[in-house]
Structure formats: structure tokens, C-alpha cells
Amino acid sequence: MLIGLLHLKLKEASKKANVEKAKKLIKEAKERGAKLVILPSLFPVGNIFEIYENDKKSKSIIRNLSEKIPGTITDTLINLATEGEIHLVAGPILEQAGPKVFLTTLIISPQGEIIGKYRKVIISEKDVRLGISSGKEPVFMSLDKRYGILAEDDIFSPEINRVLALGNASAIIGSIKAYARSPDIVKYVAIARTLENGMPYILVGEVIEDENGEIIGSSPTFVTSTNSLIYKQAEDEDTVLYVETTVLMQESSKERIGKINNIETILQGLCKNIKKMKAMERKKINQEDRHEKEEEEE
């Protein structure tokens, strides 16, 4: 299956122009034979939360963009999927669910049906300050293969990546939010996750442009494999990076360095050890509390 990753330069406060740009590239991807297209984080405006240090401005953006699903942004994404006659992975977008706000990735069919929804589990310190809530469970997507879905900070957590691997994912699909500095660090993290879990990562970044035309943040769009490490990377803005999954899986199926076969047993043992350590810590705290109470009574 051919997948198209849209590496977009998103201009602040220019939703319409950003959508039209994506529509053109989705049409191109469809004509090339792509069955799935992946859009960047917080399309159609881009994720600026790690770019601006002003939390007040970020909170204002969250208030303006948060919406229930379905909503205006969801309708835009559904239209892109149906007009392009293609599966779409988009997000995360800001989902308002009661009093909580989640960063939610949507999986949309060519018929416009939302066939999957993933709320980002690993949230950053900045997300917490901005009032973003954490999701609770991993999500998989089954097309030609079984894919695990990640969003942004999830890549920094070995735990959730391992859960997706143990859930028989053949590859990981996800987004990378823009950073004001050192955006390429995420590539090294993705390589580590690739080698740890023995499967490729298909990740979409973005470039953010302010109203004056200045680039204020970016993240790379790239694909990893267990042998090439960085298998492919987008070099230009407003382009589609294509990856054929059959070829990618063949590349990643070769014997790799550092392969571990009994990882599930290891994890089970570590979990038991963590529970034991926590129990011992609680026992110690209880003993100290009793000792302090006895001293007070004396």
C-alpha cells in the first residue's frame, strides 16, 4: 500500500489557504496511487504550543480551536477524505469532551466515516499547564496491515510504544509537533523506538510560518526502518513523502542488531518488581506514620 505523508508549511491564521494546499497535495497523492494520507499536528493551523512561551496566547488558541467531534474542523477533514477518495489520518486536533480537552487523532475512511479516534496518552508539561487531558488507551488501525497510532509526545515514551508492539502492530503512524529549536532530536528518538520494537515508524512533521512570513518552528517528516534507520525524509516544504509499505516491511524484516525475543517476560517481571517496590514504600510510610504518632502520644 502506498502512503502519502504531507509535509506542509502551515501559515498562522490562514486556515483556508492551508486547507486548499492540503487538498491539492491529497489529489496528487491519489493520482500517484496512495491509499492513505497523513496530515500534520493540529491541521489546518499547526501546533505552536512548544513554540510560544506565552501560555496565555496558547490558552486563547485552545479556547478558539477546541470543539466537539464532529465539529467544524472534523467536517473539513471529512471533506478532504471524501473529495480525495482516500483514507486519512489527521491530528491530533483539539477535542472538547465535556469539561476536558484532548489532543485527538482521527482516522477517516474515503466514505467520510470516522473509523478510529485516538486521544494522546503522553502529554508534555506544557500540555498540562494549558489544561490538556491525557487519553487512556492505545489505538490500532487495520488496512493492508495493522498500524499503531501515536501522537506527538508519545514518541518519547518507551512504554506506550512497547504496548503497540505487543499489540502486533506492523508499523507505527504518527505526528510530530513543531519545535522552535533542535527539531531533529526527534529523529534520534524515533530511531531508538524503531530498534527497541523492531518495526518502522511513519511520522509526519510540519513547518510553521507566522503572519510576517518568518519560520517560527518546525519538525521533520520521515520514515524509519530497522536497517536504514532513516529510510526516507521530506526535503522540501509543501510536498508529499511517499512510502510503499510492502517495500518498507521487507526492508525492516531483515535480521537486526540488538534483537530481544523475551521482552514480554521481561516487562512482566519489571511490572511485578515495581508493584513490590511500591508496596514496600507504602509499608515504610505507614511505619513512619505510626512511629510519629507514638512519639506524639508519649
C-alpha cell at 114: 470516522
Strand-strand pairing, 87-97 and 100-108: antiparallel
Q: What is the pTM of this model?
A: 0.86
Q: How far apart are CA 245 and CA 148, in angstroms?
A: 14
H or E stretch at 225: strand 222-225
CB 171, CB 201: distance < 8 Å: yes
pLDDT digits (tens, 9 = 90+) for 148-178: 999 999 999 999 999 999 999 999 999 999 9
Could you tell me which residues come within 8 angstroms of residue 124 by beta carbon, excluding any fewer than 6 positions away?
A: 49, 50, 152, 153
Residue scoring higher pLDDT (289 or 297): 289
Q: What percent of the chain has pLDDT over 90?
A: 70
- pLDDT of 23 > 70? The answer is yes
CB 251, CB 231: distance < 8 Å: yes
Q: For position 273, what pLDDT does the model report?
A: 73
Q: How far apart are CA 85 and CA 40, in angstroms?
A: 19
Could you tell me which residues come within 8 angstroms of residue 5 by beta carbon, excluding any fewer than 6 positions away?
A: 37, 38, 202, 203, 204, 221, 223, 234, 240, 241, 242, 243
DSSP 48: -
Task: Give mean pLDDT, residues 249-274.
Answer: 66
pLDDT band, very low/low/confident/very high, at 258 (cuts 50, 70, 90): low
Task: Give mean pLDDT, residues 240-259.
Answer: 78
CB 65, CB 13: distance < 8 Å: no
Q: For position 270, what pLDDT does the model report?
A: 66
Task: Give mean pLDDT, residues 7-12.
Answer: 94
Evaluate the CA torsion angle 75, 79, 80, 85 in order and state its sign: positive
For the chain, how long is the longest CA-to-CA vector? 84
- pLDDT of 48 > 90? The answer is no
Average confidence score pLDDT of the chain: 90
- pLDDT of 40 > 60? The answer is yes
CB 46, CB 12: distance < 8 Å: yes
Q: Looking at 198-262, list the stretches that DSSP marks H as alpha helix, in order from N- to C-terminal side.
A: 245-252
